[in-house]
Structure 1
Amino acid sequence: MTTQTEIYNYSSIRDKLFNNLVSIIDGILADDLVDKAEVVFLDNWLAEAQQISSNSTVKSLVYKVESVLVSGMNTQDLIELKASLHAIQRELLDLPGIDFYSIDADVNLLLGLCKGIAADKKISDSEVRYLDWWLAQNSMLRNNYPGKDLHRLVSEILSDGIITPEESKQLYEAVNLFSGASLEDGVTDGMATRLPCDVIYDLKLDGQTFCLTGEFIMGRRTSVESLIKKHGGRISDSITKKTNFLVVGTLSSRDWKFSSHGRKIEKAIEYRDIKISGIKIIGEDDLIKFLPTS
C-alpha cells in the first residue's frame, strides 16, 4: 500500500525534475546558442531523470537529443535543436498538476538554471547578465538562500561593468557547487551543495556542539559522531540555538531539498543569517582538516 509520505516524495521529486528541466533549457539558451557540450550534458541529465522519462514531452526531447548525437552534432542540427528547445520548454510549462510557483519550485528552477548556464563548462558574459536579470525578477530568491549568495556574487562581478575571465571562472565554480553538479567529471546531479558553507580558519572540537547532516565519505554518521565525541565535542540531533556547527557530508542525495538534511541546512542558514545564533555551516572536508591526528 502506498503511503502519503511516498506519494509526497514522488510528487516532490517529479516536480523538482520538471522544474530543473525547464530552467536547464533556459540556461542553455541564455547565450542564444546550443553547443556540443550542452547537448552531451542534456543527454546525461535526461538519462538520470527516470522519474519523468515516461512523459511524452520528455520522450520527444530525448529523441531529438539522441538524433543530434547520432548525426555528429553538425551546425544545422544544433540550430534545429535550439528551435525545438523553445517549443519543448513551453510544453513543459503547460503540463497540468506540476508545481512551478511555490518557494520550492523557485529554488528548483534556480538549480536548473545554474546547471544549464554551466553545461558547456564555462559562463559567458551574456549568461552572467541573464542570471543577474533572472534573480532580479525573483525577489524571494534574491533575498534568501540560495539566491542571496549568487545575487551577491553576480552583483560584485557586474559592479565595474567588466566581466573578467577570472570572475567568469569564479561564478562557474559557484553555480556548480550550488547545483551539486560536477561537470568536469560528467556528473549532472548528486553531490552536496556547498555554497552556504562558512569559511573557517580554525576549529576546536572540545566543548563545541555539532549537528551532522547528509552522507559522509568518512563513513557512517554514527562513526563520525563517535570521532567528534572522542575529541570532546557534543552531538545534537537537530539544529538549536546552542548548536555551534552544522557539518554537511560531502555525499548527498540529489533530492536534498526534500529530505531531512536539506531542511537542517535551511534552518541553520536561517539561524546564522538573522543572528539567532553563532552557528557556522561547514563541509566534511573542513572537519577532516581540523581533526586532531591523535
Structure 2
Amino acid sequence: MVETTGPRKNALEHEGAALGRLHARSNNRKALAYWLGFLKGILASNKVETAEYAPLAVEAQNFLSLLHDPDALELIEDLRIWKNEPNEIYEIVENIVAMRSRDFVVESEKDEINELYGFCAGIACDNRICLEEIESLLTKLESYPRVQGDRRVLNLKAAAQRSIADGRITAEESDDICTWITHLVGDSATDTGIATFGNVGVLEGALEDHNDIVFDQRMFVLTGKFTLGPRKAIHGMIADRGGDFKSSVCRNTNYLCVAAEASRDWRHSHEGLKIMKAIELRAEGRGPELVHEGILTRALSR
C-alpha cells in the first residue's frame, strides 16, 4: 500500500460547520445570484408558461430553505393562488427581480457565472426554448465575456447562434440547446422534480466503464458531497486497493471523482475549483480522468 498524502490534520472538515461559517457570505451570494438569474430566465420569454409553474415552485422552495427568502415564500403561495393566471405570476416574478436587483449587483466573475447558470436553468426549466429566450441568452453571453473561456459555454453559444439564424426555433434546435444547458447545470426541475441549484453538470469525457479505473499506485482527488459515505471512508477504500489521494488537483492526479451532489462550498453553483482545474488541465491534454460517483462506487465494489 502506498503512503497516503491526504488532507492535513488541521484542515477544516469538508461540509463542516466551521467551513460553513467561513464561507457563509460567499455561499449566500452564490445562491442569490443563481436565484435572481433563474427568475430572469423565467422572464426571458416575456411570459410565464404553465409548464414553468412546477419547476418555479421547486426552485422557490429550495431558496426558501437556503436563504429563508420571504419573496420565495410568497411566490410559492402566489403560484397556488394564481395557478390559472400566468400573467399575474409574470408580474409577481418581475417585481421580485426588480426589487432584489436593487440590493444585488453583479460585481465579479463568480457573480456572473452563478447568475448565468441560474438564467440558463430558468430558460430551460420547461424543456423548451423559444426565440425570445435565445435572444436574451445571446445578449447575456455578450455582456459577460469572462465566461466565454469555458468550452461548454462556447458550445451553448454556437448552438444558440445556429438556431436563431433563420429567425425561428425548431423542436430539434430547442432540444439541442437544452442539452448544452444540461452540460452546465444538470437536468431541469421538470425532469427530476429536484432544484437545479446544487446539481452537478455533465462532465464531458467522464469515464463510463468502472473497469477502466485502476487503483494501484494511482492518485485520486474527491470533490462534492458523496452519498457513498464520508470522504475519510472513501479515502480508506481507495487506500485499501493500493491507491493514494490528495486534496487538490495537479498534473499527477490520475482521477478526479465527482459526487452526485454539488458541495455547499464550491466556488460556483455547479462546480468547484477542483473541477475547474481538471477541465483546464484536460484542455491542455494532461488532465485527470473524470469519474462520476456512480462509476467510482461500482469500481470500489469489484
Measure the CA separation in 2 of the matches of 1:8 and 1:224. 25
CA deviation after TM superposition for structure 1 residue 21, in Å? 2.4
Measure the CA separation in 2 of the matches of 1:229 and 1:84. 54
Alignment of 1:90-101 (within 5 A): 90-95=98-103, 98=104, 100-101=106-107
- Relative contact order, CA 8 A, sep 6+: which one is greater? 2
Alignment of 1:69-148 (within 5 A): 69-71=80-82, 73-74=83-84, 77-95=85-103, 98=104, 100-144=106-150, 148=151
Match among 77, 99, 102 for residue 66 of structure 1: 77
Please name the residue that 2:44 is paired with: 30
Q: Which amino acid aligns with 1:152?
A: N
C-alpha distance after superposition, 1:26-79 (max 9, x if no partner): 11111112022323322322222235335xxx43x64355234224x22xx321
Q: Indicate yes or no: 2:295 matched with 1:286.
A: yes
CA deviation after TM superposition for structure 1 residue 251, in Å? 2.5
Q: Indicate yes or no: 2:67 matched with 1:52.
A: yes
Q: Which amino acid aligns with 1:218?
A: L
Taking structure 1 as reference, are residues 81 and 273 closer, same or farther at Cα in structure 2, changes over 3 Å only? same
C-alpha distance after superposition, 1:104-137 (max 9, x if no partner): 1111101210221122233234323432332122
Measure the CA separation in 2 of the matches of 1:197 and 1:254. 22
Q: Is the contact made by 1:9 and 1:258 (CA closer than 8 Å) also made in structure 2? A: no
Measure the CA separation in 2 of the matches of 1:266 and 1:192. 16
Alignment of 1:240-255 (within 5 A): 240-253=250-263
Structure 1: 5+ residue runs without aligned partners?
A: none
CA deviation after TM superposition for structure 1 residue 4, in Å? 9.6
TM-score, structure 2 normalization? 0.76
Q: Indicate yes or no: 2:208 matched with 1:186.
A: no
Measure the CA separation in 1 of the matches of 2:301 and 2:20. 43
Alignment of 1:192-231 (within 5 A): 192-200=199-207, 203-205=212-214, 206-231=216-241
Measure the CA separation in 2 of the matches of 1:151 and 1:293. 38
Taking structure 1 as reference, are residues 169 and 258 closer, same or farther at Cα in structure 2, changes over 3 Å only? closer
Identity of counterpart residues, as a percentage? Answer: 25
Count residues with an aligned counterpart: 277
Taking structure 1 as reference, are residues 69 and 255 closer, same or farther at Cα in structure 2, changes over 3 Å only? farther
TM-score, structure 1 normalization? 0.78
Q: Which amino acid aligns with 2:93?
A: L
Comparing 244-253 with 261-270, greater Cα deviation is found at: 261-270
CA deviation after TM superposition for structure 1 residue 219, in Å? 2.8
RMSD: 3.2
Q: Indicate yes or no: 2:156 matched with 1:153.
A: yes
Taking structure 1 as reference, are residues 182 and 191 closer, same or farther at Cα in structure 2, changes over 3 Å only? farther
Taking structure 1 as reference, are residues 284 and 68 closer, same or farther at Cα in structure 2, changes over 3 Å only? closer
Q: Which amino acid aligns with 2:156?
A: L
Structure 2: 5+ residue runs without aligned partners?
A: 1-16
Taking structure 1 as reference, are residues 257 and 169 closer, same or farther at Cα in structure 2, changes over 3 Å only? same
Q: Which amino acid aligns with 2:26?
A: S
Q: Is the contact made by 2:28 and 2:67 (CA closer than 8 Å) also made in structure 1? A: yes
